[in-house]
Amino acid sequence: MQSDLIAFINTDHLAHNYSALRRCCRPGVKLCAPLKADAYGHGVAIVAPALQEAGADYAAVATLDEAVELREVGWQRPILVLGNVLSAPNPAERRERIAVVVEYDLTLTIADQATVQRLLLAEPAERISVHLKIDSGMGRMGALPAQAAALLAAVLRARCLHATGLYSHFATADFGDRALVARQLATFQQVSAEIIANLPDGLLRHMANSAATITLPPAHFDMVRPGLALYGYLPAPRMAEQIDLKPVLRVVSHLSAVKNLPPGHCVGYGRTFTTRRPTRLGIIPAGYFDGLPRSLSNEAVVGTPHGDAPIIGRISMDQLAVDLTDLPPLRVGTTVTLIDDTPGRPNAVATLADRLGTIPYEVTCLLGRRIQRVRFSQTCDLPPNRGQTKLNRNSAARRSVSQS
């Protein structure tokens, strides 16, 4: 069965964004695609093959489960696991996780001496690739600069480990104020310079997220890790002059009911909206479980073939209501757009993020598992009203479906 909620993932736009980010870098710089959190909510089963086809050199995930899933959808290139997955308190669990690392040929992050000791005690069956993480000023995972040389020495002494990368992460690369960015970059450069004599040949240094990939060439080093920008969203509006990105995601549903209400009628929980006139009401089978926050109640719009319809009343777990009164008649089954892929639209990801006081990452990562992710290519037809999308069912590649 087809879901009542469909996210069309435009792989042409994904490839466009990948190429645009490549052009920000000098030749030879590798690109690592962050595919954690189900590819930022877009569906890893669709995004990963498309980025592998585009030429991405690496992938990054947060957990071992995500890494295994990535291998199972066909990713054949290196996978960097960003989280400290060997922090589990149970030794048996740690051994099991190390076995998974070996079986799926994963690269681990090493941020402290304790992780090195855990790996030594487990005696892995094969040598494990590791990237050392340096805390250059963000204050999360990572060895402090003064600890970097000792950590590298411990890794180099461990015959079961193979150091293949050194990395850090920016805290404010999307800010206009570059003071912390400059300090972090200088710290990472200094650490690299101090230990470079002991670094193995071919070791990858990487630090640049989306914002730094777009605006800070000195931070590109050997590889960049643009996340948000791959999916078509700017880290900051001012960067629109430096790169052309195309949103990858569009979420649609349909009207499941249409009814007329008299003036003075309550709509939804808590009576936050009461009709002031005869009102034609539309119901859509989507709610906060699907990633449409309750805080958008009475604050957002839904696109229809005849114009935008405001959301009225509280968004509930499985349903929301819209006011259709000022639009031409719409019938049950009419396709509606919950999240638009046109920048600047009132229901575009960036606009919704601003309205919610958050960032685009959170909007896309909130998308729930009832939303069916469907690969979409521009070679399929889109009606002028941006209504229902037709899939080319003669192409297996274009009807790849991921149920999140």
What's the pLDDT at 31?
98
pLDDT over threshold 70, residue 384? no
Distances in Å between the Cα of 251 and the Cα atoms of 27, 171, 398 are 36, 30, 17
Range in 16-20, 313-317, 382-386 the model is least confident about:
382-386
Q: pLDDT digits over 193-252, tens only?
A: 999 888 888 899 999 999 999 999 999 999 999 999 999 999 999 999 999 999 999 999
Q: What is the DSSP letter of 390?
A: P
What's the pLDDT at 378?
72
Q: Which CATH class is domain 249-367?
A: mainly beta
What's the pLDDT at 387?
37
pLDDT over threshold 60, residue 398? no
pLDDT over threshold 60, residue 129? yes
**Which of 12, 14, 7, 8 minimizes the C-alpha distance to 229?**
14
Q: pLDDT digits over 158-200, tens only?
A: 999 999 999 999 999 999 899 999 999 999 999 999 998 888 8
- Sequence spans of domains, the chain: 11-230, 249-367
Q: Looking at this protein, which amino acid is placed at residue 16? A: H
Q: What number of other Cβ atoms are within 10 A of residue 169's Cβ?
A: 23
Q: Looking at the annotation, which residues are catalytic?
A: 36, 269
**Which of 140, 203, 129 minimizes the C-alpha distance to 169?**
140
Average pLDDT over residues 36-57: 97
pTM: 0.91
Tokens at 107, concatenated: 């690269």
Place of tokens 């450069």: 189
Tokens at 108, concatenated: 């681990």
pLDDT over threshold 80, residue 389? no
- Fold topology of 11-230: TIM Barrel (3.20.20)
